Structures are given as structure tokens and as C-alpha cells.
Structure 1
Amino acid sequence: GHEKGAFTGALAPKEGLFEVARGGTVFLDEIGETPSLIQVKLLRAIQERRIRRVGGLVDIPIDVRFLAATNRALEEEIREGRFRDDLYYRLNVIPIHLPPLRDRRDDIPLLVESFLARLVDGKSATVEPSFIRACLAHPWPGNVRELENAVERATILSPDGRLTADHLMAAGSAAEPVEPVLPEAGLDFEQWIARQERHLLVQALDRSNGVKSEAARLLHLSARSMRYLADKYKL
């Protein structure tokens, strides 16, 4: 916020966001990207529960909750001198770890539905099963934002409102094979193998338009093995 006359064009006093949000919650998105100078100001506001408008001489009390989010490892940022440890400890009262999207794939259909409802703005749209299967197969390294962008691009590429796996591929979000790398902490081998199996099955079913006999041919599987794996992964 600012006071009248604080700078050219400041013709009247204006409340800042912390004042406007009184009694509510201020969401500090991507807190790990905050410049050092702003970190100092945030720390003061959180610690003292007061702010001062630009051009003002009086501290104004604030009544808000703070919720911060980041995709960075803030402990590492502190060690590298890029994030203040005192601000970190002020914010880190109740930490909530949100697993990556690839580890909570059951959320993907719901997220697609939510994004689509906002993007089409009342217009009709149909999500084909192949689109959802392709979304479930993709690793989504960019998490929810990458999924949201992919859905938005797919709606642009589909003038008739029907989203298929082809639209996801055209949007540049088709799952691509990568060379596996063993993490420093190791991994659950059976779980990793299961993910790869499911991924290939989804790819084969998409390419064969859901015809399991054709998918089995693409994967050089017997019909019995195909039925077993399809039941195992609920495909």
C-alpha cells in the first residue's frame, strides 16, 4: 500500500494486500524465488504483525494467516545463502509435503475435469478415455502446472471440443522414454517395474484404440498375459 503523495500518481492513500486480506489468508506462492530485500520485509510483517505503507510514518497492524508454497528445497537454499533461515523458521510452523503428481495419479482425472471446466467457459467439451490414459502415462515433471498447460493447449488444438491422446501428443506432453537413473537413496525396484509395465500397456492400448488383442501384438504378449496385466493395472 501507499500514502497520498508517496510518489507521482499517488493521489490518494491505498491499502496494501496484507490490509485488504484482514481476517483471511495471504498465499505466498513460490516463496523460494523471493528476492533478499523482500524476504526481510516479509519477515518483519510476519514476526511483528505490522506493515508500513510506502510514504507512511505509522505502522499498521495486520490480521492475516500466511500460507507459503515452494518447489525448492529451502534447507539447501539456506545453505547456499539464497534464503533467510529466520524467515524459513517463521513460515515452517506446519509443513505440508505435497507428493509429485506422478505419485498421485488418481488426482489427474479430477484435475483435468477442473481445468477443462474453467477453460471451456460453459462450452461443451468431451474428454475421451485415450486422453486420460495418456495423461496417466505421462510423468509430469512440471506437476500440476504442466498438466494445466497441456490441457489448455489440447483444448486449443481441438476445435470440436473432443480431447484425445493425439491432442495431448500434439501439445508436446506425450510421454517419452527416458534412460532410468538410480537415485542416490535407491528405489523400490518392484514399484518402478510396475510403473514401466503400466506405462507401456497404456501406450499400446492408446495406439490400438483400446483393442487388447492388437495391444498384445504390439507388446509381443499372449492374449492370456494381456488379460492378466490389463486386470492387474485396471486398464
Structure 2
Amino acid sequence: MANNSLLIVETPSTTCVDSEYLARQQYDIHRCQSASSAFTTASTVSPAVVLVSAFLPDMQLTDFVRVFSRTHKSTVILVMVESQQCQLAADAIGVGASDYLLKPFTDQQLVSAIDQAISLHNPVADLVVSSAASRQVIQLALRAAQTDATVLISGESGTGKERLAQYLHDNSPRSSGPFIAFNCAAIPETMIESMLFGHSKGAYTGAVSSQAGKFELANGGTLMLDEISEMPLPLQAKLLRVLQEREVERLGSNQKVKLDIRIIAATNKNLSQQVAQGLFREDLYYRLDVLPLSWPALRERRDDIIPLTEYFIGKYAPSPGYSICKSAKLALQSHHWPGNVRELENVIQRALIMARGMELQVADLMLPAAIPTQTAPQVEHSAQGLESSKKHAEYQYVLETLKQFSGHKTKTAAALGVTPRALRYKMAAMREQGIEV
């Protein structure tokens, strides 16, 4: 059963949430008027979503979000701000909030934001997310799921791109239809065309019967084209035509089959660089890159490592009761994870085989020895100077990313791991600081 508990943190003078309306929508409501009482209540009720006002009598909003997101990692935080508080909203999202609500908002807008947040709190299948970076990607995926637009998922091998595609499908109006995943790199080049588009009887030597391709099998649902960068150039042209015409023609047949499918493409390469090198068609790239999602590497979302570890222990342990010691958890969090989630899964499977007891130890993990790195000399900074340097570096990174995508805000937001709305707030805050965006 989904957790539908809400914790609303606002003072009587700033109240803007209609608790009675939310209660009629079957939410379990808990109210607090201060940060301290919110922490106490949250430890008891474990809310799915926290709605917090920009004004708290005993704590700064960003401090509250930073601490709450660390102590209640599975709770989604929504901040409520005024229209002139763009910098505050951007800062809150930067330290762990998932999204913001701009006052004044309607009851319907509030319910929509809460429902999306609860979907984050109760993921489907075996998609495990805890870190702020992961939850921001999931939030973007939930929004993309409500459309039929093509999605391009990028990320290193082993990060879980297929799991993310499945999650997107399961949260879409097409969830009752089929989800078909096709790996363009795992199939011999001579067979890809037949398997994707299908063939008629006698279309080629050995075609003793007609066979539907992956496009037809995915009709009414979702087709995921994994490792799309590995598709041969001649087939890219045919794929482009199918995407444009929304119909497919089997090999050896003149009959066209109408398609009603959602396309999700995935790649572990930089497709824009592939286009520049002549390895990928530019027109197909822009056809696929409608809604880009960038799935971070595991080393960039370390808050996911222990939840994933516990999930894999539960999945592969020969019996209930297995756990992992604190030093082993620290070893997992210190590892670089070049193989990402796939490597972590293999490590836990191996550790469960090697373990002599029911608590996994560091030795059971059999991780490669860490390569020592030269430690940079420590430089003392005042708190104010350090914060200014961090803010300058953050703004510089946003500018560089905007430049990389020629000012395209949706692509920039995906690369930064934030929502387009959060990016607009960040850009507005930069303009307030006199930075030309």
C-alpha cells in the first residue's frame, strides 16, 4: 500500500495549504509550525512528502531542507515560495528539495505536485533511488511519462537505463501495453533489420514463415532501443522513416502496419559527438532527442549505494536475516564503481556466496584495493568566502552547460540533473547577481 502521509510545515501567518481539502482527497495530514516540531513528527510518521513554507521561525529554509533530506532520505521535499524568492527556491533544490510550489497555487496544482512526489516515494519494480540527483531524474521521467514524446536516456553502462525506461513505461498511460527492449549492440548487424521491422515468408533464405518485428510487437506500448549509437548507418535511415511516418513495412512485403508506440532510446555515448564524427545521423539524433534524461553514474549518487546494497541483499540472500556491517558499508561508499549498479549487484552476489556468517564483512566484498591519490594541501577559508567560491563555481558550471547546449534549457536542465523550472529560477538568481546569462 502506497504511503500517502503528508507533513505540512508552515506558521499560522503563512498558511496557504487547505488541510481539509487534502484530507478529502484521502491524504493522511500532519501539521507543524516549526522546524523542530517537524523533525519530531517526521521521526514518528515517516511522511512520503513534506510541504515546507519558506518562512520558518526557528531555522533557515535551506538548512531545514539540507538536514531533513539527509535524515529522511526517502521523503520528498516540496518548498512553498513567493514569486520574488527565486534564489531561495533554487538554493533549496540545490540542497535536496525535489521541486517548489509558487504562491499562490490552486488546490488542483497542489494535488498534482503531491501525486508526483508520492510516485517518487513509492517507485515501481526494483528501481531504487535515494539521492537527490536520482530523485530529480525520476521526477523528470514522471513528467515525460505523461506524454508520447520520444525520450533519450544517456548514461554510462551499468547505470540502469533499461530499469529507468521500464519505470517511465509503468508510470505512463501505456502501462497496460507491452514494454519491449531491443539491444542494438547485442544483435548481429545482418539480423537487426529483420528483428526490428519483421519479415514475410520467403523474404530471404531461411525465412520459412512470416514474423512480426519488435515495432509491431510493441504496438500499443513502448519500444526501448538500447545502445542506439551501435545501429548501422543504413538502418538509421530506415528507423528515421518509421519514426516520422509511424508505420513499418516488413522485409519482403509491401503492406504497411500502422504503429501506435512510444519510443525510448538509450545510449552510453555522447550522441552529439557521434553526429560530429559522422557516426550517427543528425536528423535521427534530433528526432530522438526530444526529452533527454541523463542517468548519473553511481559514483555521482553515493546516497543510492547503501539502499541498493540492501535491496540486492534482500534479493539474493539464501535466507532472511542477512545484513552488512558498518565498515563494509564504508568500503562500498568509498569505491569508485566504474561498472556502476551492475558492478555493485555482482559484488553483493559474490559477497553472499563468500560470507561465513549472516553479516557481510569487508573481506567478503573482495573489492580491489583503492589507489591512493595525492591529497591537495589544505587551505583555510572563511565560511563566507568558501560559500562565495562555491556559488561562483556553481554559476560558472551552469553557464558552461548552457553554452554546451547552445542555450537549450531542457537539455541543459537534464544535464544538470534539475527540472527546467528549477533551471529558470537559477538563471533568474544569476541575473539578480549581475551575471549575463
Structure 1 residue aligned with 2:310, among 93, 113, 116? 113
Counterpart residue type for residue 177 of structure 1? P
Deviation at 1:162, TM superposition (A): 4.5
8 Å contact from structure 1 (residues 138, 174) kept in 2: no
2:324 alignment partner in structure 1: 128
Q: 1:82 to 1:56 in 2, by over 3 A?
A: same
Q: How does 1:151-190 map to 2 (within 5 A)?
A: 151-158=348-355, 162-168=359-365, 170=366, 172-178=367-373
The structure whose residues are more often strand, as a share, is 2
Structure 1 residue aligned with 2:254, among 57, 79, 93? 57
Q: Tell me the distance in 2 between the aligned counterparts of 1:8 and 1:118.
A: 45
1:43 alignment partner in structure 2: 240
Alignment gaps of 5+ in structure 1:
182-187, 191-235
Structure 2 residue aligned with 1:29, among 226, 232, 235? 226
Report percent identity of matched pairs. Answer: 45
Deviation at 1:90, TM superposition (A): 0.6
Q: Tell me the distance in 1 between the aligned counterparts of 2:209 and 2:348.
A: 43
Deviation at 1:87, TM superposition (A): 1.2
Q: How many residues align?
A: 181
Deviation at 1:118, TM superposition (A): 4.0
TM-score, reference length from structure 1: 0.65
1:197 alignment partner in structure 2: none
Deviation at 1:160, TM superposition (A): 5.7
Q: 1:72 to 1:179 in 2, by over 3 A?
A: farther
1:92 alignment partner in structure 2: 289
Alignment gaps of 5+ in structure 2:
1-197, 377-386, 391-437
Q: 1:104 to 1:13 in 2, by over 3 A?
A: same
Structure 1 residue aligned with 2:340, among 121, 139, 143? 143
8 Å contact from structure 2 (residues 313, 323) kept in 1: no
Q: 1:126 to 1:91 in 2, by over 3 A?
A: same
Q: Tell me the distance in 2 between the aligned counterparts of 1:53 and 1:179.
A: 59
Q: Tell me the distance in 2 between the aligned counterparts of 1:55 and 1:159.
A: 60
2:298 aligned with 1:101? yes
Structure 2 residue aligned with 1:15, among 212, 216, 235? 212
2:263 alignment partner in structure 1: 66
SS in structure 2 opposite 1:111? helix
TM-score, reference length from structure 2: 0.37
8 Å contact from structure 2 (residues 313, 322) kept in 1: no
Deviation at 1:56, TM superposition (A): 1.9
Deviation at 1:65, TM superposition (A): 0.8
